[in-house]
């Protein structure tokens, strides 16, 4: 029961990230699973098994809403499924000592990409819509990385397709999710030997991730419009890099890996905080500029209205001289006095 609760919390955290960012469920889940001591191949197998159900449900929802381009989904998903199956077989047959640093290296790379993307230092630009050949290559490569790294499909494909062409964002998200069902299914089939060896140990992680993701989905969707995506995306990327860099350094025989991990986390979160402060200062400056512009427009409107009024201008001191202004009623009386004399008050 305790194990289910731990993995349920991991599922909740990963789903909150995906709901807020639209990506990074797999890499977040795999990183947290490996951090708790689960073997790399087992972690990736569990995540992809759970994703078969979640991507099917999400894909059907997007299909009903007309958000899926099936031609694009097949062009991307079929090669992606092939790459995922091969990647799963490679990771499943590798020894634990080899698989762990391989997965960590991929997750560090993906985490770095996420950080740079969400703080605006990396943008993907393309002048034309990608055709089947480019889509197939993208799917094949990212599918293989997704299986060996435990995630990355949404992170890489969504970001690339958003920039590579003029497709609607909602259709890109729906299409990527539909294609991901094929990728998750193929990866799960490739991981069958891994899953069958220790099936009794996989039930708790899979059940916990699945329940956590399902229960959190509505709140995660609501959170999407409330959270600063650049801050959350950058923080998730820093965590991916920080938690996996120690594994990678240990595998390479680099000393003081824990200290390096602390340095990476501190530097990464410092960079995210600085980026947020810069964005906040810019937004405040824009609000101030907008407020000044609005005030000038209002003043211009008043001047224009005054210029069209043919009555002579009389200042408040001489306009209705016997009126003492102490409230709105006195101001009205003053204006009435001015109107009676054929003048207008300032």
Q: State mean pLDDT over 107-120.
A: 81
Q: Residue 345: beta bridge partners?
A: 314
| pLDDT tens readout for residues 54-91 | 788 777 877 888 888 899 999 999 999 999 999 999 98
Per-residue confidence (pLDDT) for residue 79, from 0 to 100: 96
Mean pLDDT of the chain: 77
SS3 165: coil
- The label of the residue with tokens 């689960």 reads 38
* Cα within 13 Å of Cα(182), Cβ side: 22
Q: What is the pTM of this model?
A: 0.67
Q: Which residues pair with 126 in a beta bridge?
A: 164
Residue 126 DSSP class: B
Asked whether residue 321 carries a pLDDT value surpassing 50, the answer given is no
Quick check: 104 pLDDT over 70?
yes
**Residue 314's beta-bridge partner residues?**
345
* Runs of H (alpha helix) within 191-323: 192-197, 199-223, 229-252, 257-308
Per the CB < 8 A criterion, the answer to whether 172 and 158 are in contact is yes
Q: Which of 170-174, 311-315, 323-327 has the highest mean pLDDT?
A: 170-174
Identify the pLDDT of residue 86: 95
CA-based torsion, 201, 203, 209, 212: positive or negative: negative
């Amino acid at each position: 029961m305790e194990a289910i609760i731990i993995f349920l919390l991991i599922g909740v955290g990963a789903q909150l990230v995906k709901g807020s960012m639209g990506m990074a469920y797999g890499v977040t889940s795999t990183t947290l699973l490996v951090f708790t001591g689960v073997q790399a191949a087992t972690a990736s197998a569990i995540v992809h098994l759970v994703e078969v159900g979640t991507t099917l449900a999400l894909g059907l929802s997007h299909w009903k809403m007309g958000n899926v381009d099936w031609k694009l989904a097949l062009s991307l998903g079929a090669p992606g499924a092939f790459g995922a199956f091969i990647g799963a077989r490679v990771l499943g047959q590798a020894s634990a000592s080899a698989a762990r640093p391989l997965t960590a290296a991929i997750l560090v790379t993906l985490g770095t990409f996420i950080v740079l993307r969400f703080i605006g230092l990396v943008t993907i630009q393309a002048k034309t819509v990608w055709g089947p050949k480019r889509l197939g290559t993208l799917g094949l490569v990212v599918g293989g990385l997704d299986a060996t790294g435990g995630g990355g499909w949404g992170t890489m494909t969504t970001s690339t397709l958003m920039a590579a062409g003029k497709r609607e964002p909602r259709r890109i998200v729906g299409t990527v999710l539909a294609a991901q069902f094929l990728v998750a299914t193929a990866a799960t089939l490739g991981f069958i030997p891994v899953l069958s060896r220790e099936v009794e140990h996989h039930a708790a992680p899979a059940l916990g991730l699945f329940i956590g993701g399902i229960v959190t989905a509505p709140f995660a969707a609501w959170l999407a419009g409330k959270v600063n995506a650049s801050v959350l995306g950058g923080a998730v990327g820093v965590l991916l890099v920080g938690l996996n860099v120690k594994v990678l350094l240990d595998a390479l025989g680099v000393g003081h890996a824990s200290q390096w991990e602390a340095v990476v986390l501190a530097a990464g979160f410092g960079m995210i905080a600085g980026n947020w402060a810069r964005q906040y200062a810019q937004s405040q400056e824009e609000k101030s500029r907008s407020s000044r512009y609005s005030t000038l427009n209002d003043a211009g409107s008043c001047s224009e209205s005054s210029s069209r009024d043919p009555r002579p201008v009389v200042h408040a001191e001489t306009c209705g001289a016997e009126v003492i202004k102490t409230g709105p009623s006195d101001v009205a009386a003053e204006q009435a006095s001015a109107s009676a004399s054929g003048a207008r008050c300032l």
